[in-house]
Structure 1
Amino acid sequence: MVERAARRIVEKIVASAPAGWTRAVLASTAGRGGASVSGGYAVPGVPLWRNSLPHVFMELEGLTEAIGEVRGWERTSLEIVCRPSGEYELVAIADAITSLRGRGGGFQAVLDPDYRLPQPGSGQEEGTAAPAGDPELAVARFRAYMERRAAILGRPEQLPPPVSADALDAAERRIGRPLPADLRALYLIADGDRSGYEHRYLLGGNAWLPLKHLVAVHADQREPVWSGWELEWYSVIFDADPPGTVRRCGGHPAWLPFGTGEDGNYLAVDLSPARNGRPGQVIRIGRDYDDCPAYVADSVTSLLGRHLELLERGAYEVSDGHIDLLEPARRLGPERISGEIPGEIPPGLQAIHINDAESPVDLAPLAAGRRGRGAGAAAGPNLRMLHLNRCATADLAPVRALPVESLRVTLDGGDLTPLEGHPDLTSLCLGTAAPIDLAPLRTVPNLRALDLSQAVVRDLTVLADLPDLRYLALSARQWTSLLDEGKAPPTLAAARLADDHAPLDDALTWAARLGLDTEAVLRTSGTFLT
């Protein structure tokens, strides 16, 4: 069955081949969640990936199902190499090893599938302010809001019956936390805003969830979404605006979604705010807020007050029997800049991508003192991500004064001494033009992810001394050197072989040296007669 499914793919590859090709490579990770495909035809004088393969998604689905029946794998990483003669080889393994061709290059091996990088919000100081919500005022504002809406629409809007106190108590037990008093009071008026199959979208274009849906969505949203090591190793959870109000998390058990935009995003009440927040404050979370939850209001009571004020000011439109509140536009995500370092650094800047700038790039303006901030104050006091793309710098000294967590940089001169003891740095992607000493990284307490595949390193064995390194990307030559010395960092949870031309067989050998069990590999070969 596996051989038959593989031959269907080879047949299609051979039939679509360009003139003069010598071999074709298809790499894929596939399963019930879909498939990623990369590869191409090798033609003399033309890069392998310039000549793309035909679409074989349906055939890959059949091959993955066949392999799953034989081996019981839910997801499979595989590689097919075929030649004009019709000869082909298939290598497949469960997706602890994943091809990243076309998505950064090389292969990724997951050594500890249960490990997740810690999120900065878990260690933030808890807010101590009292809740701002007032249940009596919230009820009064809600009734006034509904009356004003009825006057605008020329009819009252029907809402579902209220929730009983017993049902609220049961929901709170399932959640493990009490609802804010003002939100609880609203559920004693109506169980959300859906009448029949239609929502009234009372919450500024968001539907108010029935209580049972609040409980269900909370169960789904209570933990951060893990996007895989390919993206997570260098990611940053940014701060909300105002700073220090919401924990820097992609999800949290104390965030209770009560409204939905029906687009994967939610309004939630936050019962565990950061230092400058208040319990019961309203935030935005979900699909578009995984890297930066957004602060909305200090309470549901205040949110209702804002909605009522917009109606009274006439800041609304009526369309198809619905009222759309005209709220001021809000920035989605953190304040960030792409391009070059501006002359004036916005105080709220959290991410900067310096692209294609003239090298060496002078980073000093990022750390220069701002007028009125006092001596030694950085111009980018909130800068969490600094990525130099297709350009280089000669001096990392300005980074010492910045709270940068994710740093991507090519060094053309200079060294890593400015990073010694850096308290915030968690991920570093480093390229170099000359050999560099990694010793300063021994003192970086929170460094958990490194990509040195574009760096020339004097002594890779220093990596074994990094106390909590969880992700490491190296070239094939660097990995061989490090593993031959027996100095792979013992704390690794994931690794990347950054060699886009390495066959899957080489990746399996590499992964086995890292300790992964690769004995279950499936191999088959044959000939498709053209």
Structure 2
Amino acid sequence: MLGIHDVAVWEPLLRLLVRDNAERLAAPGGYVVGHIGQGSWSVPAARPAFQLGRAALVSDIQSEWDAVGRIRDVLTEAGVDDVSFMLETPTPGKARLHFFDRGPAVDSGVGTHLGAILLVEGAVPEPWRRLPDPSPDAVPAPTADAVLLERTLRERLPDAIGATEEELAAVETRLGVTLPEELRALYRVTRARWEDLGEDWSAAEHMAKAVGCELLSPEEVYLADAASRPAPWQFAAMDAVETPPHAAVQGLVGSPGWIVFGDNGGGDRIAVDLTPGPRGHLGQIVMLSHEENCGASLLFDSLTDMVLDRRPEAEHGADEHGADREERPPAVAWVNRSGVPSVAAAAHPGLEAISIGVWEGEPLSLGLLVGLPRLRTLSAYPRTLADPLEIAALGGLEFLELAPEDWRVLLDAGAVPRGLSAAAIVVHGERHPLPVVELANELLALWDRPQITRTVVEVDLGSAE
């Protein structure tokens, strides 16, 4: 089997890239970079202008498609997710390929950029560590009625095959929770297996209308805890969760009390909530959006209400999104030319994360952030900080994202905060990858983490003519 570094695998793509980037590669220090994964790729190959009025076709980029396909096939065979590379042509007819192996301590980034640098193995951002507050006084909604629910569903689905008590017990054992009686009643009527429906889409659609969602089979039911909603550190570190006093649903990434049993048909999961917010009901029905990392929204006060399509009273929405929430300073601040106007405007005791983005004024001081008890994330664009060494006084940081120049200041001064769990290097526009990789390895070395490795392969393109 050919390996991922074998010349025969890469030669068609190399010839294409050398042809399409001849001027750039011939310049002193010239190079191009690319990234190929099993599901996508980004390579600097020239592409024709697509014709207006028709979809793009594989035949429009057939040479690129075939060349990349050879590499993707090898990735699949080797069980490798992706590969990043840099190409140089030191002399005519000669190519030099640099392969970068991120290793287990660096996430995949966007395109050829590095993702988050994991300084502490297994660490996740604070919202992913947050557990639900106890809700010992929570009770089911008055509308919860397992008998009515079961009778209604049997009338709607008279031929459905229900789950046995043994099957339901197996679900409880697997999840480690007791299923609420409404959910047990639902599955006693139908276990929603594809084979039980005769593999008939119309029967599945009829069941979805009868229940109110696309129902998972008992074997597919799962707990939507935080681990079930993974997110890259660079994005997750800028999330924050909170539960206002009048909220029906707790503000969480996930909860061991969210029992997912269905889908809305668009990828959003439907769950029974056994850890409701201060104004919620035990066993209420919530939806977890596939477009969001955190939170869930209230759909129905009970599973019975969902089956009967009885919407909750509007006061829940008003309580959850009303003035009480808006009066609080935001836990996440985006300081930039069109957002929060200054660090001073962002700073308050509840601030958890701050991003300093595109900025046209004088570089900013971080002095007003010192001592904020909940601050855990700082991200800053290049040339936005007046003095990067002020970061050393921000003792509670768990994630720090800086430009290479600012990291250089901290590293040279021995001032990188040692409480960090993860870090990132901000790279905008064109930047040679080798210094960035070396910088990342310096950070990894401080925590004795596995390094990014580089394999260099010399290719004689002339001899293959």
SS at match of 1:223: helix
Larger RCO of the pair (alpha carbons < 8 Å, separation 6+): 2
TM-score (norm 1): 0.67
Q: Is the 8 A contact 2:141 2:281 kept in 1?
A: yes
Give the match for residue 349 of structure 2.
422
5+ residue gaps, structure 2: 47-60
Is residue 466 of structure 1 aligned with residue 403 of structure 2? Answer: no
* Equivalent-residue separation in structure 1 for 2:64 and 2:301 (angstroms): 52
Q: Could you tell me how far 1:423 is from its partner in structure 2?
A: 1.0
Cα 1:76–1:247 change in 2 (3 A) is farther
SS in structure 2 at match of 1:301: helix
**CA deviations over 1:261-294 (Å, ceiling 9, x no partner):** 3443332101112222222111112524544412
Counterpart in the other structure of 1:524: 457
Structure 1 residue aligned with 2:184: 184
Matched, 1:298 2:307: no
State whether structure 2 residue 151 is matched by structure 1 residue 143.
yes
TM-score (norm 2): 0.75
Q: Which amino acid aligns with 1:422?
A: P
Report the Cα offset of residue 176 of structure 1. Answer: 0.9
Q: Aligned partners of 2:273, 2:168: CA distance in 1, in Å?
A: 18
- String of CA shifts for 1:399-435, please: whole Å, max 9, x gaps: x951332424249998534444431332323454213
Counterparts in 2 of 1:158 and 1:501: CA distance versus 1, 3 Å: same
1:196 maps to which of 190, 195, 198 = 198
Aligned-partner SS, 1:77:
strand
* Structure 1 residue matching 2:336: 3-state secondary structure: strand
Correspondent of 2:381 among 423, 438, 453? 453
- For 2:42, the equivalent position in structure 1 comes to 37
SS state of the match for residue 513, structure 1?
Answer: helix
Choose which of 89, 111, 117 in structure 1 pairs with 2:96.
Answer: 89
Higher fraction of helix: 2
For 1:402, the equivalent position in structure 2 comes to 329
Give 1:132's aligned residue. Answer: 141
Change beyond 3 A, Cα 1:74–1:259: closer
Residues 77 and 97, structure 1, Cα contact 8 Å, conserved in 2 = no
Equivalent in the alignment of 1:109: 117
What is the distance in 1 between the residues matched to 2:111 and 2:62?
A: 15
Identity value in percent = 19
Query: Does structure 2 retain, via aligned residues, the 8 Å contact 1:131–1:279?
Result: yes
1:213 corresponds to which of 211, 220, 239: 220
The equivalent of 1:495 in structure 2 is 424
Give, in whole Å, the separation in 2 of the partners of 1:166 and 1:413.
57
2:367 partner amino acid? A
Q: Which residue of 1 aligns with 2:16?
A: 12
Mark the runs of 5 or more structure 1 residues left unpaired by the alignment: 42-52, 150-155, 308-326, 336-345, 351-379, 384-399
- Root-mean-square deviation (CA, aligned residues, Å) is 4.1
* In 1: Cα distance, 2:75 partner to 2:456 partner: 11
Letter in 1 for 2:423: A
Matched, 1:509 2:413: no
Q: Offset of 1:440 from its aligned partner? A: 1.9
Kindly provide the CA deviation profile for residues 8-46 of structure 1, in whole angstroms up to 9, marking residues without a partner as x.
Answer: 22101133448787455122153x4x24425578xxxxx
Corresponding residue pairs, total: 423
Cα displacement (A) at 1:490 = 1.3
Answering whether residue 154 of structure 2 is matched by residue 227 of structure 1, we say no
Determine if the alignment matches structure 1 residue 382 to structure 2 residue 315: no
Cα deviations across residues 329-360 of structure 1 (Å, max 9, x unaligned)?
A: x9xxxx9xxxxxxxxxx99769xxxxxxxxxx
1:186 deviates by 3.2
Q: 2:249 aligns with which of 246, 249, 254?
A: 246
Aligned to 1:275: 278
What whole-Å deviation, never above 9, does each CA across 1:62-100 have from its counterpart, x for those lacking one?
446768999x85543322234793433222222345675
Q: 1:57 to 1:100 in 2, by over 3 A?
A: farther
Matched-pair contact (CA < 8 Å) for 1:250–1:291: yes
Contact 2:243–2:249, Cα closer than 8 Å, also in 1:
yes
Is the CA contact 1:100–1:106 (under 8 Å) kept in the aligned structure 2?
yes
